[in-house]
Amino acid sequence: MTTLRIYPIPAFRDNYIWIIHNTTSATVIDPGDAHPVLDYLQSNKLQLESILITHHHSDHTGGNGMLLDRFDVPVYGPIHETIPTVTHPLQGGDTVHLPLLSLSLAVIDVPGHTSGHIAYFGSLPGPEKKNILFCGDTLFACGCGRLFEGTPLQMYQSLQKLTDLPEDTLVYCTHEYTLSNISFARTVEPSNSDLQQFEHHANQLRNRNQATIPTNIATEKNCNPFLRCNQSEIIKMASQYAGKKLSEPLDIFIALREWKNNF
Ligand SMILES: [Zn+2]
């Protein structure tokens, strides 16, 4: 069995369009721009098999039309959002089968950033069976997406679902926000030594112009303040920011999200 490659195609200022492929076929996730995807397909002599969409924002869907002009492929996307090019609407509990890649992905509902946002989780074929997650703008390395449509509770619960995945799961999010997220995280939890190590690692990657993504669930549990709302230092700092004593994890999460919006 040929191994699958997962590659970040840079787009716009800081987006990654993820492509999964073997030597002949490819699936692309959240193609906001068709041009860099077409370039990648052409230079690697790949046929597009399908398009997966996590949510309706144009920097995740804008390339669909041009890709569909070239390739007659299914477009999978969230059932609870209006995306005209989606041919196969999905919701949590569904499974996407990608036969040319020998890959199946389970769909998880993760509302919050948008109201119908979905994520895709699966295991790569082959002896290693690496777990992979494509989560769009929900969970970022050391951060989370802004709440454009959903409620804080929805986002909090969506992030909980993702942290319940196996700790070795590789997390393929769609923006290179890591260093600025770490800068906020260090302000919120200055004594977290795992976070300091992760910053060192991320700086090294960025100095070589490499993506800091994928991250993984274990690292996020150790470093991401939005997943650490029960940590005493974060509770103290969030309470200081809010100007009142907070104790409920959801209230901590709300304070952190507001603080980050203004950071
Ligand atoms: Zn978005």
Residue 220's pLDDT band, with cuts at 50, 70 and 90, is: very high
Residue 258's pLDDT band, with cuts at 50, 70 and 90, is: very high
Query: In Å, what is the CA distance from 13 to each residue of 135, 174, 177?
Result: 19, 12, 11
170: exposed, middle or buried (Cβ count in 10 Å: 0-12, 13-18, 19+): middle
> What are the pLDDT digits (tens) for 3-14?
899 999 999 999
With b for 16 or more beta-carbon neighbours within 10 A and e for fewer, the 111-146 pattern comes to bbbbbbbbbbbbbbbeeeebbbbbbbbbbbbbbbbe
Residues with active-site annotation: 55, 57, 59-60, 113, 137, 175
CATH 3.60.15.10 at 5-224, yes or no: yes
Handedness of CA 158, 160, 165, 166 (dihedral sign): positive
> Residue 73: is its pLDDT beyond 70?
yes
What is residue 15's predicted lDDT score, i.e. its pLDDT?
A: 95
| Encoded tokens for 172 | 């393929």
Q: How far is the centre of ligand 1, averaged over its atoms, from the C-alpha of 239 (Å)?
A: 28
Mean pLDDT of 14-18: 96
164: exposed, middle or buried (Cβ count in 10 Å: 0-12, 13-18, 19+): exposed
Beta carbons within 8 Å of 109's beta carbon, 6+ residues apart: 91, 92, 116, 117, 118, 158, 161
> Residue 134: is its pLDDT beyond 60?
yes
What is residue 126's predicted lDDT score, i.e. its pLDDT?
A: 79
> What are the pLDDT digits (tens) for 93-128?
999 999 999 999 999 999 999 999 999 999 998 787
> Residue 60: is its pLDDT beyond 80?
yes
Domain locations along the chain: 5-224
Report the alpha-carbon distance of residue 175 to residue 144 in Å, rounded.
11
CB count in 10 Å sphere of residue 60 = 25
Residue 2's pLDDT band, with cuts at 50, 70 and 90, is: low
What is residue 4's predicted lDDT score, i.e. its pLDDT?
A: 93
Q: How far is the centre of ligand 1, averaged over its atoms, from the C-alpha of 172 (Å)?
A: 14
Q: How far is the centre of ligand 1, averaged over its atoms, from the C-alpha of 146 (Å)?
A: 8
> Residue 1: is its pLDDT beyond 80?
no
Q: How far is the centre of ligand 1, averaged over its atoms, from the C-alpha of 27 (Å)?
A: 20
Report the alpha-carbon distance of residue 160 to residue 234 in Å, rounded.
17
Length of the chain: 263
> What are the pLDDT digits (tens) for 24-46?
999 999 999 999 999 999 999 99
Q: How far is the centre of ligand 1, averaged over its atoms, from the C-alpha of 136 (Å)?
A: 7
Q: How far is CA 38 from the centre of its chain?
A: 22
Mean pLDDT of 136-165: 98
